[in-house]
Amino acid sequence: MFLYRQPAKILYKSKKQQDILQKLSDYVDSHLDEPVEILARLWDDQSEALSYREIREAILNGDIDKETFEAWQQDYSVMAAASFVPVWMAAIKAGGKDEPVTAALEGFEFSPVTNGVRKWVREHSGELITAVTEEQREAVRAMIGRAVDGRYTVDELSRVIRPCVGLNRPQAVANLRYYETIRDNLIKQHPRMKAESAQKQAREMAVKYAERQHRQRAYTIAETELVSAYNQGNAQAIRQAQEQGVLGDMRRIGSTADDERVCRRCAKKSGQELPADLGTPPWHPRCRCAIAYEPTGEPYTGAVPVPEYLPPIDEHITAEAQEQIWKEWDLIPEAHQDILKDEMDIWRSPFGNSRTDKRFGIVYMADELDEGEFIHEAAHILEEHFQVYQDERFVKILRDSLRGGKYIADEETFEHPVSRVESPKLVSVYQGRAYIEYGIPLYSDGELNPNAFAEFFAEGYKTYVLNPEYLKRKNRALWNYVRGMIQ
């Protein structure tokens, strides 16, 4: 029905534009599969999660209910945090490394995980979640709208709507039109055919069409997201070089891929100097434009970035949680605050609990926090910074603290059953949590595997901050170790 795009054939303007456009295109073409699969899986799940009863109610009410909308929003939030953050981060990293101007600077190295990068990913993630959830609601509203003029019975329409969950509005409308055409033609050509069997045949074809449409939309979103993050990597590299005083003012020249998908708006930008407020491409879905940066002045001298006093925080975090976070922030030793200001970004958690993505320096904070929960998550950032789990001294303390402990399959203490080790040297039950159900072996080299006990340091650190005397009494070696990190 439709063909996937051939790799773009590009006619080039200048060497610089050629360079960045080709790299962008190569990167996007070789990284589409993962985000496409993620989206396809999500829409399958959403379509299955929606019952016919719910769709029938939606048709009768004229709109999907609040619960469904919120469930979709939640799905996209989790998808963004768990699956798209790594995709964006990797594309930013590639874009930053490929940037031709900064790549040629001696002594400059692009850093793929900075507050500037994390902030962009956080805001962009929020924009994507809002956009796709809204699009999806608009699509369902448009489909429901077709019930009113007698083209469908409620039952029939609900069966046609379900496979269309995840499509945008024009796609959903096209799918319904396709269904109607097939159904009406069947009835016209076979006057004795039962309405039910015409509907069934038409539905089977419409389901196949919806599958192709889902794939098309997944490609559009994936491509747009990769172009967006890659271009952001270019921009972040330039910014970092300016902040480090190795670049100065830059001219931004639009670079447009000369292929069949160039829109009129983009064609006009090609070779032109673009104002800063235009931002970075994409400027429309599937846009594959880039920006060629050209230095226009001397490197900024003494360009020192303004020091941050607090780590960046997601505006969506509830007021109560923020209050608790800043209260606990003040308790963290200053030397560690300095590290966290640069290496941590605080996001509202879509997962229902707090957790930390150490790879990118993101802590996800739940809406309701127990005492010390923020310190615990911040400690995960610190343990990565200090490479605590690679430190032999720490590993020895961990093993000494757990040796001879009792292994427990704990069904009750937490929301989910967990595996843990119980030992008198632990400051909390959670400190002995063993992540063996994630495939991490309990033993390595005939000894307890420190990586299975991923909460050991964070719980110890939290207790050091909140109640040092208790930690000292329970586990003097660990208390000493944390103290040594601060002084």
Per CB under 5 A, residues contacting Zn ion are: 266, 287, 289, 455, 458
What 3-state DSSP class applies to 473? Answer: helix
Q: Whole-angstrom Cα distance, residue 321 to residue 318?
A: 5
Closest CB 53 distance from Zn ion, rounded Å: 40
Token pair for residue 203? 């539905």
User: Which residues touch 360 (CB under 8 Å, ≥6 apart)?
Assistant: 85, 86, 89, 113, 118, 121
Tell me whether residue 88 or residue 374 sits nearer to Zn ion (CB atom): 374
Closest CB 380 distance from Zn ion, rounded Å: 6
**Strand-pair partners of 292:** 253
**Do the Cβ atoms of 175 and 206 come closer than 8 Å?**
yes
**Do the Cβ atoms of 20 and 231 come closer than 8 Å?**
no
Token pair for residue 206? 């419409």
The sign one gets for the Cα dihedral 435, 440, 446, 451 is negative
Closest CB 100 distance from Zn ion, rounded Å: 19
For strand 250-255 and strand 290-295, is the pairing parallel, antiparallel, or unpaired?
A: antiparallel
Tell me whether residue 36 or residue 289 sits nearer to Zn ion (CB atom): 289
Tell me whether residue 137 or residue 358 sits nearer to Zn ion (CB atom): 358
Which 8-state DSSP code applies to residue 80?
I
Closest CB 484 distance from Zn ion, rounded Å: 21
Tell me whether residue 110 or residue 481 sits nearer to Zn ion (CB atom): 481
Tell me whether residue 141 or residue 261 sits nearer to Zn ion (CB atom): 261
Q: Whole-angstrom Cα distance, residue 397 to residue 142?
A: 62
Closest CB 289 distance from Zn ion, rounded Å: 3
Tell me whether residue 380 or residue 425 sits nearer to Zn ion (CB atom): 380
Closest CB 7 distance from Zn ion, rounded Å: 17
Q: Whole-angstrom Cα distance, residue 71 to residue 47?
A: 12
Closest CB 372 distance from Zn ion, rounded Å: 11
Q: What is the largest CA-CA distance in the chain?
A: 88
Q: Whole-angstrom Cα distance, residue 447 to residue 443?
A: 5
**Do the Cβ atoms of 226 and 289 come closer than 8 Å?**
no
Tell me whether residue 108 or residue 430 sits nearer to Zn ion (CB atom): 430
Closest CB 347 distance from Zn ion, rounded Å: 15
Count other Cβ atoms within 10 Å, centred on residue 273: 11
Strands (E), 285-434: 290-295, 345-348, 355-357, 362-365, 406-410, 418-422, 433-434
Tell me whether residue 91 or residue 287 sits nearer to Zn ion (CB atom): 287
Tell me whether residue 213 or residue 463 sits nearer to Zn ion (CB atom): 463
User: Cα 34–35–37 angle (5° rounding)?
Assistant: 65
Closest CB 105 distance from Zn ion, rounded Å: 27
446: phi then psi, degrees, rounded to nearest 5 = 70, 5
